[in-house]
């Protein structure tokens, strides 16, 4: 029973040990609430990274079998920048580059694709976290 909060109920009392307050246990419980969703997210991220690394390894191992036509097709699909000769005579290693665009003037290539897709992926991950976090709290971890 707390004392020292009203006249005549005695002197104030204090906790002599932080463990007696229950705060460390409360902190540990709060940390454990999100453990399940955090583990699932970490496992999914690790799985996706392994799949990505495997696909890169497979691609690299098969590079020796690519034909010149394959290389040109890949370059055309993924190339983001092209030499910009407008007003420049320098065609050496210091030549300027321009963003590669399609017939409508829209940027194309891997740089454009990543800049369009990454915000969506981040939004999806945040939504997933916002959904799973309360579920983990509600289920008690």
How do residues 72-125 score in pLDDT, each as one tens digit? 888 778 888 777 766 555 555 556 777 888 889 888 888 777 777 777 777 777
The predicted model gives 122-139 an average pLDDT of: 68
- Which pTM value belongs to this model? 0.33
Q: How confident is the model at residue 28 (pLDDT cuts 50, 70, 90)?
A: confident
Q: How far apart are CA 114 and CA 109, in angstroms?
A: 9
141 in Cβ contact with 33 (< 8 Å): yes
The predicted model gives 6-13 an average pLDDT of: 65
The predicted model gives 24-30 an average pLDDT of: 87
Token pair belonging to 29 = 């419980």
pLDDT score of 141: 47
């Amino acid at each position: 029973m707390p004392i020292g909060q009203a006249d005549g109920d005695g002197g104030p009392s204090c906790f002599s040990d932080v463990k007696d307050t229950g705060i460390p246990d409360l902190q540990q419980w709060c940390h454990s609430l999100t453990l399940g969703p955090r583990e699932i997210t970490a496992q999914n991220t690790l799985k996706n990274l392994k799949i990505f690394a495997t696909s890169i390894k497979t691609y690299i191992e098969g590079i020796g079998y690519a034909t010149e036509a394959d290389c040109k097709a890949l370059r055309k699909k993924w190339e983001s920048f092209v030499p910009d000769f407008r007003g420049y005579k320098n065609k050496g290693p210091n030549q300027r580059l321009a963003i590669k665009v399609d017939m409508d003037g829209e940027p194309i290539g891997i740089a454009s694709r990543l800049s369009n897709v990454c915000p969506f992926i981040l939004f999806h991950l945040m939504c997933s976290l916002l959904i799973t976090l309360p579920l983990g709290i509600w289920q008690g971890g």
